């Protein structure tokens, strides 16, 4: 049985670069052992183990001086989310400043961009585009409704009970400045159009899509986070609706399936119904329908 010298603790069972191995004093002979394979130029990976997205992003960025994780990969690593047809892609997006050569590696989509100080942050030791810059980078390829929805996620107010932050990721004024700073970036005009349609108050992509579908169908722009009693900050709130018509609309995503959330949802539902409001509760089936059926019911109640 062949025995290998154990790798240093910091390199065990994970991909690493030749630079990291040198710092740890790993010999060239050990790097040629059969328990390691190549992950591309300057990269070693444990054999017979599938690498997760974050592992691939980390080692590829580390093996490419001057590069950082950007575009679709940055959106996934920072929780911005992507359309289903983009979320499954295997490629890692790496950007470099425009004066450096483009990254050319198997499994990597390289970009050369103009970057301003403060547009790259550290995420668990990985250099990653900040969320507003990721939004701007993706405006070129995303359909306009997705650019609006991603922007809504940037400017929404976080819920302190569920998130470890109290400030939004961006403010509209900051996004306006970002657009002005990159006037020649492809997709900047779409980002400018999206910014005009973005609203504070949508907690999810489907909520944005619902709002846009209602407006496209000729309904007035709805109020977001519609409180039953606007004077009471503890009053139950629906995702959106029309106070003057006493119509409330709620979109229930996957997180509404927990017992605790269902209890809160039931109390909210009962409060609106007891107050005599027309109350519509929508889900993924309505989203798949483009909200057409739900909007028809809302129109009849208006």
Model confidence pLDDT, tens digit, residues 182-226: 999 999 999 999 999 999 999 999 999 999 999 999 999 999 999
- Which candidate, 92, 61, 64, places its Cα nearest to that of 76? 92
Angle among Cα 262, 163, 60 to the nearest 5 degrees reads 120
Q: For residue 243, what are its two tokens?
A: 């106070």
Query: Quick one: 241 exposed, middle or buried, by C-beta within 10 A (0-12, 13-18, 19+)?
Result: buried
Q: How much is the pTM? A: 0.91
Look at residue 253 in the predicted model and tell me its pLDDT: 79
Classified as helix, coil or strand, 279 is: strand
List, for residues 248-288, the tens digit of each pLDDT value.
999 997 555 555 667 788 899 999 999 999 999 999 999 99
Q: b vs e for 34-59, b when ≥16 Cβ sit within 10 Å of the residue's Cβ? A: eebeebbebbbbbeeeeeeeebbbbb
pLDDT at 2: 52
CA 36 from chain center: how many Å? 33
**Cβ atoms 103, 49 nearer than 8 A:** no
- What stretches in the chain show pLDDT beneath 50? 1
- The CATH number of the structural domain formed by 205-301 is 3.40.960.10
């Amino acid at each position: 049985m062949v025995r290998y010298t154990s790798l240093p603790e910091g390199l065990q069972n994970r991909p690493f670069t030749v630079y990291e191995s040198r710092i740890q004093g790993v010999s060239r002979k050990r790097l040629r052992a059969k328990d390691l394979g190549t992950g591309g130029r300057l990269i070693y990976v444990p054999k017979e183990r599938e690498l997760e997205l974050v592992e691939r992003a980390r080692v590829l960025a580390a093996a490419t001086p001057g590069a950082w994780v950007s575009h679709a990969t940055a959106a996934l690593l920072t929780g911005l989310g992507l359309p289903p047809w983009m979320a499954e892609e295997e490629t890692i997006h790496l950007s470099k400043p425009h004066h450096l050569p483009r990254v050319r590696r198997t499994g990597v989509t390289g970009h050369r961009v103009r970057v301003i100080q403060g547009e790259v942050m550290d995420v668990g030791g990985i250099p990653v585009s900040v969320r507003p810059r990721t939004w701007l980078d993706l405006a070129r390829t995303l359909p306009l409704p997705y650019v609006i929805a991603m922007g809504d996620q940037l400017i929404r107010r976080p819920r302190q009970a569920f998130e470890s932050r109290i400030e939004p990721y961006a403010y509209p004024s900051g996004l306006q400045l970002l657009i002005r700073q990159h006037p020649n970036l492809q997709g900047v005009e779409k980002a400018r159009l999206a910014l005009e349609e973005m609203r504070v108050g949508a907690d999810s992509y489907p909520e944005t899509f619902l709002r846009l579908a209602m407006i496209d169908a000729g309904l007035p722009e709805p109020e977001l986070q519609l409180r039953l009693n606007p004077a009471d900050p503890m009053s139950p709130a629906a995702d959106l609706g029309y106070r003057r018509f006493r119509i409330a609309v709620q979109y229930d995503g996957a997180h509404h399936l927990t017992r605790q959330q269902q209890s809160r949802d039931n109390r909210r539902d009962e409060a609106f119904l007891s107050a005599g409001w027309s109350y519509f509760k929508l889900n993924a089936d309505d989203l798949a329908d483009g909200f057409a059926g739900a909007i028809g019911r809302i129109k009849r109640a208006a």
